[in-house]
């Protein structure tokens, strides 16, 4: 892969040579053309006399390197994305001038042209180590520094960075040809920003372009007034204007919640939130200026799940201002100190400080299901993961680091008590302010406030991989009371650790007056070792359902006692509490994935529960689980019948749903993913939605839903490429170009799949989001005959992709192009052959491939379990 990797050993070695205070002066010129920009960086730092080290830089050309007044030959010192620094003095100054390249992959300095108006937008994305794509840098988190940024850009643009603008200067020069689209020419301006506090390079940021702007301010708890701003593309201005005040309000609630919870007011000079195009992640916690993917600007109807996810994301990134920014991990093995805390606390803030009060049900259905899936792969890892190099870091932005880590933090709060937990967090933040910290530093503070031995707890929960299962066994007296309730904890053989759990047990019964299942009693206890007897419930009347891990306090797989299992399977749709429903539903899904619960029965109980479910994320994930089960888990000779049945039921539920409701919208969208060529009724329904001859009360066929219908028609060959192009011509936007490419790749023809496979891999003109749309369209058509020819070709392409693409693009291709609808056994066989012949391949690459292989292995196993 292009760009030098950095090992943990090299980072430690460099940190042993380079020391602070470190200071950067970075000057960027964005007016020199449409392909490259100029980067001029001066760095001062201390070092051991006579030692050597290196700077990181990915550049097309280095024109000057000056070290302590001596000009060095760039041809001699610049190679493999590094600049050698030899014979260092005790204090040093190095200046590097370079020509760097804009990206279209969302890495480094991304440049995007909005086709709707020709405007150019730029933003940086530097996590993990991509500051080096913009300026020369010691690009590792523990070499914190002060940064002074200046930027030359077209005078009509807005330019923002981590700090407020210190000065602006009009320049007597024009932008070069090609710097602006459509032949525009204008004068330039220099923006100079205030010096940053001490910070890590991956958290620095620049955004530039004619963004639309909104402003507000917050009365900070330390007496300061914090300027706030929000930005988006001009073409999204009207849509975003409807939500800006709401998002400012959410952010202000987050400021207040975090300051009160941690006892540390917001520490930085300003807080901008900028919604940018073609973004790889959900958002990024750049100090003082958070970048978000602008699909969070809603110009079409979205699910309530997406609306809530936006709130959680806003609060997640705000939480990072403390966890990750104010205190930063020393090396990437403690990435969880950033992400797990932000995920946990943003969910807590969403539930307690906003109107999304069922946020923990959302977390259970969405985030926790992500963790359960990844924690049962051979590629799972401890929350505190071993990180040997940067590639290891990339693949650890996953369900373990985010979702399992957040689940375990929720368990830790239950284990030590909320007040003591946050008291320890306060001490941790105060002690390591503006510095770097490790797991050990955190445990010292939490042990001091809680009085618990957390080293043993950490060794089992944070430093070992895998998930436990807790099964309930009930013995009942003749009079219907409980003689014994025993919890049996087990662990998989490859991760044989039994963990301590603080959990709750809920009793649930039918409330006849309401016709709902409600909680009638609750018991909280510690679970240790293999067997735990629950003494509190002995002699009590046995309820209809016993929920182990009520309120979802711990992280574990669940197995219900036999009576509770049958009751829940028949009555899931009647549970009144959103979190309890989510926990139970996720447990049935887990049993289905393990081949322990009949696949078709899971589909039926889920379809029935959808008729009464109103928690949007639970609804969304249930639809996804039904789809996976229907296509991949039911017996092979039942797939066609089950898929048709599910499609019919979804359409029926959609027609019965409340007009204009979130459920109606999700059901129609899900139904449109069940098309099969030759299904005349499906084609008629989809075409009717498009032309208006089929109407559901309250359902608006807006831009995005229209493209969902177009893709559905393309997937059954009821819409050709010319018709797709004509649809795009009606409204040519950044997002609609992605939709059009996805629709074209979804067509159920050999030619369409050949085109998509080739374009995704070899067309470097595609943006990151366009490539992703093509990949997903390629793999989405559920026909094994179309997928089969690509099983071998996929594995033949793996090495080339890894060698020639940046990490993010390689990961997207290797996951998106996996032909999941090919014969699963064949995919497993070919995958094992690749893994066996690539034992020395990069660990990150092997993890991606192995994850795909094990997905297919599970399909084989579960289908076999469902075959009579």
Widest pairwise Cα distance in the chain: 94
Q: Which of 609, 702, 586, 739 is nearest to 663 (CA)?
A: 609
Whole-number Å distance between alpha carbons of 603 and 310: 29
Whole-number Å distance between alpha carbons of 811 and 815: 6
Whole-number Å distance between alpha carbons of 362 and 341: 17
Spell out a b/e string for 358-393, using b for 16 or more CB atoms within 10 Å of the CB, else e.
bbbbbbbbbbbbbbbbbbbbebbbbbbbebbbbbbb
State yes or no: is 829 an active-site residue: no
- Contact yes or no for 125/284 (Cβ under 8 A): yes
- Contact yes or no for 185/174 (Cβ under 8 A): yes
Whole-number Å distance between alpha carbons of 661 and 558: 32
Whole-number Å distance between alpha carbons of 375 and 357: 28
Spell out a b/e string for 419-432, using b for 16 or more CB atoms within 10 Å of the CB, else e.
ebbbbbbbbbbeeb
Helices (H) and strands (E) in the chain, counts: 30, 29
Alpha helices in 135-222 (DSSP H): none
User: What DSSP state is assigned to residue 820?
Assistant: T
The helix (run of H) or strand (run of E) holding residue 65 is strand 61-67
Whole-number Å distance between alpha carbons of 705 and 171: 46
Set 107, 285, 317, 772: catalytic member: 317
Task: Provide the 3-class DSSP secondary structure of residue 84.
Answer: strand
Positive or negative, the CA dihedral 688, 692, 694, 700 is positive
CA angle 94, 99, 102 (to 5 degrees): 125
Size of the chain, expressed as the number of residues it contains: 868
Q: Which of 628, 807, 858 is nearest to 3 (CA)?
A: 807
Whole-number Å distance between alpha carbons of 255 and 353: 10
- Cβ-Cβ contacts under 8 Å for 412 (sequence gap 6 or more): 421, 446, 457, 461
String of DSSP letters for 97-157? EEEEE-BSSSSEEEEEE-TTT--EEEEEE-TTTTGGGTS-B--STTS-BEEEEEEEEETTS
- Establish whether the linkage from the previous residue to 524 is cis, with ω within 30° of 0: no
Whole-number Å distance between alpha carbons of 859 and 828: 10
- As given in the structure block, the two tokens for residue 325 are 């920014």
Whole-number Å distance between alpha carbons of 434 and 177: 42
Whole-number Å distance between alpha carbons of 760 and 776: 10
Give the catalytic positions in this structure: 317
């Amino acid at each position: 892969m292009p760009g030098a990797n950095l090992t943990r050993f090299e980072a430690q070695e460099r940190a042993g040579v380079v020391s602070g205070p470190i200071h950067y002066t970075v000057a960027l010129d964005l007016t020199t053309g449409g392909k490259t920009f100029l980067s001029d960086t001066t760095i001062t730092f201390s070092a051991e006399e006579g030692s050597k080290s290196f700077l990181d830089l990915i550049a097309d050309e280095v024109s000057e390197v000056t070290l302590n007044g001596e000009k060095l030959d760039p041809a001699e010192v610049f190679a493999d994305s590094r600049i050698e620094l030899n014979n260092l003095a005790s204090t040093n100054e190095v200046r590097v001038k370079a020509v760097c390249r804009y990206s279209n992959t969302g890495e480094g300095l991304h440049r995007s042209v909005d086709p709707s108006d020709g405007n150019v937008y730029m933003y940086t994305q530097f996590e993990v180590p991509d500051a080096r794509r913009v300026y020369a840098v010691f690009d590792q988190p523990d070499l914190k520094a002060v940064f002074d940024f200046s930027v030359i850009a077209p005078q009509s643009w807005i330019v923002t960075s981590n700090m407020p603008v210190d000065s602006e200067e009009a320049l007597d020069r024009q932008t070069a040809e090609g710097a602006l689209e459509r032949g525009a020419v204008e004068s330039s301006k220099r923006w100079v920003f205030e010096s940053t506090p001490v910070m890590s390079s991956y958290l620095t940021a620049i955004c530039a372009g004619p963004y639309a702007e909104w402003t507000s301010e917050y009365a900070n708890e330390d007496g300061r007034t914090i300027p706030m701003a929000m930005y988006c593309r001009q073409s999204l201005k009207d849509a975003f204007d409807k939500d800006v005040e709401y998002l400012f309000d959410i952010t202000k609630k987050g400021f207040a919640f975090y300051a009160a919870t941690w006892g540390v007011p917001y520490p930085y000079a300003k807080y901008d939130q900028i919604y940018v195009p073609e973004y790889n992640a959900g958002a990024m916690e750049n100090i003082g200026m958070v970048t978000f993917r602008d699909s969070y600007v809603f110009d079409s109807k979205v699910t309530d799940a997406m609306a809530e996810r936006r709130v959680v994301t806003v609060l997640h990134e705000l939480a990072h201002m403390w966890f990750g920014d104010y205190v930063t991990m020393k090396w990437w093995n403690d990435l969880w100190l950033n992400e797990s805390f932000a995920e946990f606390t943003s969910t807590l803030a969403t539930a307690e400080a906003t109107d999304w009060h069922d946020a923990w049900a959302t977390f259970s259905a969405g985030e926790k299901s992500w963790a359960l899936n990844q924690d049962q792969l051979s590629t799972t890892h401890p929350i505190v993961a071993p990180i040997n190099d940067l590639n290891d870091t990339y693949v650890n932005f996953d369900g373990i680091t985010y979702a399992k880590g957040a689940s375990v933090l929720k368990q830790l709060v239950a284990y030590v008590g909320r007040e003591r937990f946050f008291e320890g967090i306060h001490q941790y933040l105060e002690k390591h302010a503006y510095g770097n910290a490790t797991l050990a530093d955190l445990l010292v503070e939490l042990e001091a406030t809680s009085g618990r031995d957390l080293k043993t707890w950490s060794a089992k929960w944070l430093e070992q991989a895998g998930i436990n299962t807790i099964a309930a066994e009930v013995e009942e007296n003749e009079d219907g009371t409980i003689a014994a309730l025993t919890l049996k904890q087990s662990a998989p053989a490859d991760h044989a650790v039994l963990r301590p759990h603080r959990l709750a047990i809920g009793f649930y019964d039918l409330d006849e007056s309401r016709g709902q299942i409600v909680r009638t009693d609750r018991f909280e206890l510690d679970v240790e070792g293999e067997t735990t007897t629950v003494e509190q419930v002995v002699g009590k009347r046995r309820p209809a359902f016993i929920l182990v891990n009520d309120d979802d306090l711990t992280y574990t797989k669940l197995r219900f006692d036999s009576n509770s299992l049958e009751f829940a399977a028949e009555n899931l749709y009647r549970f009144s509490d959103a979190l309890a429903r989510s926990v139970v539903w996720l447990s049935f899904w887990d049993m289905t994935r393990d081949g322990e619960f009949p696949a078709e029965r899971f589909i039926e109980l889920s379809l029935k529960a959808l008729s009464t479910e109103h928690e949007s994320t639970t609804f969304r994930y249930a639809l996804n689980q039904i789809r996976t089960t229907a296509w991949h888990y039911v017996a092979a000779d039942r797939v066609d019948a089950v898929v048709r049945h599910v499609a019919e039921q979804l359409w029926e539920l959609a027609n019965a749903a409340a007009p204009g409701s979130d459920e109606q919208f999700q059901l129609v969208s899900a139904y449109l993913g069940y098309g099969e060529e030759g299904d005349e009724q499906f084609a008629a329904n989809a075409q009717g939605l498009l032309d208006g001859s089929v109407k559901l009360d309250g359902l608006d066929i807006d831009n995005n839903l229209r493209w969902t219908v177009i893709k559905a028609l393309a997937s059954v060959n009821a819409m050709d490429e010319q018709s797709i192009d004509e649809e795009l011509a009606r409204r040519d936007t950044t997002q609609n170009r992605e939709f059009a490419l996805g629709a074209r790749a979804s067509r159920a023809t050999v030619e369409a799949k050949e085109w998509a496979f080739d374009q995704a891999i070899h067309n470097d003109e595609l943006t990151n989001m366009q490539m992703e749309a093509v990949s997903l369209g390629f793999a989405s058509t559920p026909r094994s005959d179309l997928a089969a020819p690509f099983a071998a070709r996929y594995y033949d392409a793996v090495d080339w992709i890894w060698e020639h693409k940046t990490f993010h693009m390689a990961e997207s291709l290797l996951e998106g192009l996996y032909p999941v609808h090919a014969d699963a056994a064949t995919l497993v066989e070919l995958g094992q052959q690749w893994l066996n012949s690539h034992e020395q391949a990069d660990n990150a690459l092997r993890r991606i491939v192995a994850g795909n292989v094990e997905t297919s292995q599970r399909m084989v196993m579960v289908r076999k379990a469902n075959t009579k």
